Amino acid sequence: MNIQILRHFRVVGFLTLAFLLVLAGTFLLPIRAQEADETSEERTQTFWWQVSATGPSERSGHAMVYDSGRGMRVVFGGEGSSGHFGDTWEWDGINWRCAATSGPSPRHSHSMAYDSARGKVVLFGGNFNTDDPSRQHLNDTWEWDGSSWTQIRTVEPPGREGHAMAYDSARRVVVLFGGLSWQSGEGNKYLNDT
């Protein structure tokens, strides 16, 4: 199956077995596998339906990743009309549950990846909108084991937001790319590093 997802919609988790995209607002979008004789212009009629009336409050800028070891979609953080969130939610395909309210500080525009070799969700960076632009981009690394968050001390890249992360199973490493970071004397700068 060939699925292209725009970079701005990185809050989407993919449920492989059911061929469904899951958004943190608990709406499902069915996806049809592309047939060999179809062209890229051909589309399938799709529709959304709400599958749960409970779950995380309305938010944007959150991160979502699929924990294949436990069969859970994990959502952390984001921002809404009431401010920034520092809560962790899990979706098992049927129900949402608030899994933690402690761990990383509230933030938005961070990124997460699932390290399948170690069975941990890895979170890096984000933004918490302070009045001081030199302090708004975070450069901390956290791991979620399904029950609690642990801050990991690593050689960390500069703080950033809007970056992408993925797990490279061949090399058994989490890879981070790009984002936006505040640079002394330059202001906000788009990064092109890996």
| Mean of the per-residue pLDDT values of the chain | 78
Q: What is the pLDDT of residue 184?
A: 63
Cα separation, 91 vs 20, in Å, equals 13
- Phi-psi category of 171—alpha, beta or left, where left has phi over 0 and alpha has psi -120 to 50? alpha
72 or 27, higher pLDDT: 72
pTM higher than the cut 0.85: no
16-24: long-range contacts, CB 8 A cutoff, minimum separation 24: 18/93, 22/64, 22/73, 22/91, 24/55, 24/56, 24/59, 24/62, 24/64, 24/75, 24/78, 24/89
Strand-pair category, 179-183 with 187-191: antiparallel
CA distance 129 to 135: 8
Domains recognised in the chain with CATH numbers: 57-191 (2.120.10.80)
Q: What is the mean pLDDT of residues 131-143?
A: 80
Q: What is the DSSP letter of 58?
A: S
Query: What single letter denotes the amino acid at residue 27?
Result: F
Tell me what pLDDT residue 52 has. 75
- Cα–Cα distance measured from residue 74 to residue 90, given in angstroms and rounded to the nearest whole number: 5
